[in-house]
Amino acid sequence: MDNVHTHPPRGAAPDAARQVTALYQVHALGLVRLAVIMLGDQTAAEDVVQDAFLGLYRRWGGLSDTSRALAYLRSSVLNGCRTVLRGKSRYHQIALAEPAFESAEARALAGEEHREVVAAIRRLPDRQREALVLRFYLDMDEVEVAEAMRISRGAVKSATSRAIAALGRMLREGS
C-alpha cells in the first residue's frame, strides 16, 4: 500500500504546474487505489483523481498552506467518488454492485472472499464506506479520519461501527 500521509516533496519547483505534477508523481497511485476501492472502476477512479489534481492546480495560488495539499486532494477524491456514486456527471454508468475485477482472468485470480467484501463495502452508505476505507485501508486513526471527512471523532466511531455491523450482515446474508 502506498503511503499517502506524506507531505509534498520538499524543494519542489516554485511554479504551480511543476509542484502539482510532483505531487501527482508521489500520490496519484495511492489516490487512484483509494478511488478504485470506492468505485470499482479504474477509469472512473483516474478521472476523479485527475479532477482533484486539476482543482488543486487551479487553486494553487490561493492555498495559504501548501503542506495541506494532500489533505485537500484526499477530500477532493472522496467528494469526487461521492459524485460518481450518486450517478451524476459523465460517470453514471458504473455498476455499483460489481466488484473491481472485470476480466475473466482477473476474476479467476481474485479471492472470492475479497471480492465479496469489497462489493459489500461499495453498498454501504457514503459515510460508512469512507470511514471504513480510511480507517482500515489507509490505517488512519480516528482523528485523521475525522479531519479527512470533516466529521467528529464520535461520528467516525459511529459510522465505522455501523459499517462493520452492516458488512457482517451483508456477508452473512450473501453466503
Partner 1 sequence: MEDRVRSATRYVADEVHEVRPLVLPQVQPAARRWHPRRQWIVPLAAAAAVVAIAVAVVIVKDVRNSQQVPPASTASPQIPAYYVALNDASGQQSPDQVVVGDTFTGARLAMVSPPAHSSFVGITGAADDRTFVLGAQPFPYSPKWWPVEPRTWYLLRIAPGTDHPAQLARLPIPATPYGLEVTGTALSPDGSEFAVTLEPNETMNSGPEQLRIYSVSTGALLRTWTGPPSSQEWDGYLGRDNNTTLFWLADGHTLVFDYSAGGRVLDTTRPGHDLIADSRPTAWSMPFGTCSRPVVTSDGKTVAAACAAPTGSQALGGATGGNCSVAFTEYSTATGKPTRTLYQGGSCGTDSEILWISSSGDTVIGYLNRAGAEPGQSIPAVGVITQNKFRPLSFPLASGIPLPDGVAW
Looking at residues 20 to 79 of the shown chain, list those that interact with partner 1 (rule: CB under 8 A).
20-21, 24, 28-29, 32-34, 36-37, 42, 45-46, 49-50, 52-65, 68, 71-72, 75-76, 79
Task: Look at the block and give the residue holding cell 468505485.
Answer: 39
* Nearest CA-CA partner of 71 in 165, 145, 153: 145
* Cell numbers describing residue 64: 495559504
Looking at residues 84 to 103 of the shown chain, list those that interact with partner 1 (rule: CB under 8 A).
85-89, 92-101
Write out the E strands in the chain: none
Between 13 and 29, whose beta carbon lies closer to partner 1? 29
Q: Which of 44, 118, 140, 145 binds partner 1 (CB under 8 A)?
A: 118
3-state secondary structure of 146: helix
* Cell numbers describing residue 66: 501548501
* Cell numbers describing residue 56: 488543486
Between 9 and 154, whose beta carbon lies closer to partner 1? 154
- Residue 165 touches partner 1, criterion: CB under 8 A: yes
